[in-house]
């Protein structure tokens, strides 16, 4: 059996210093359901999208890159990206607030409370 992923990026792992706090942050900003998964050697929080239709990554206890120096993970937001920026700031994240428009949608760069680099992505309608 061969595995042919639909895109080059097949999974994202985001390192966090406090798994419970990070689950609260990502749930508040993105509205995702995060499920604690302790079936492996370390606990992780699976990131579910669209009511659990798929899981494309997880949060895990680890050492984040400092000052957004690591890779940027772009995550879909519900509603306008400007509203996601407000939720992100209220939850303890940072962004420059500049919304960038590209043919597939709109996004803004941000960091979570651990300094992980994020893209807040609003798909085009």
pLDDT in tens, 69-98: 788 999 999 899 999 999 999 999 999 879
pLDDT of residue 57: 86
Q: Kindly report the CA angle at 70 between 65 and 72, in degrees rounded to 5? A: 130
Q: CATH classification of 12-123, choosing from 3.10.180.10, 1.25.40.10, 1.10.10.10, 1.20.1250.20?
A: 3.10.180.10
Helix axes 19-30, 81-90, angle to 10 degrees: 150
Give residue limits of the domains in the chain: 12-123
pLDDT of residue 29: 94
Q: What does pTM read for this prediction?
A: 0.85
pLDDT tens for each residue of 10-61: 788 999 999 999 999 999 999 888 889 999 889 999 988 666 666 678 999 9
23 vs 27: CA distance, rounded Å: 6
């Amino acid at each position: 059996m061969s595995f042919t992923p639909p895109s080059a990026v097949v999974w994202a792992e985001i390192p966090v210093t406090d798994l419970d706090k990070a689950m609260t942050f990502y749930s508040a900003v993105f509205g995702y359901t995060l499920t604690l998964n302790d079936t492996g050697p370390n606990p992780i929080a699976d990131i579910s999208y669209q009511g659990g239709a798929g899981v494309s990554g997880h949060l895990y206890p680890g050492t984040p890159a400092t000052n957004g120096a690591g890779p940027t993970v772009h995550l879909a937001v519900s509603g306008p990206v400007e509203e996601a920026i407000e939720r992100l700031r209220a939850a303890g994240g940072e962004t420059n607030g500049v919304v960038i428009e590209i043919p597939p949608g709109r996004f803004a760069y941000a960091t979570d409370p651990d300094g992980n680099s994020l893209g807040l992505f609003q798909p085009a309608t």
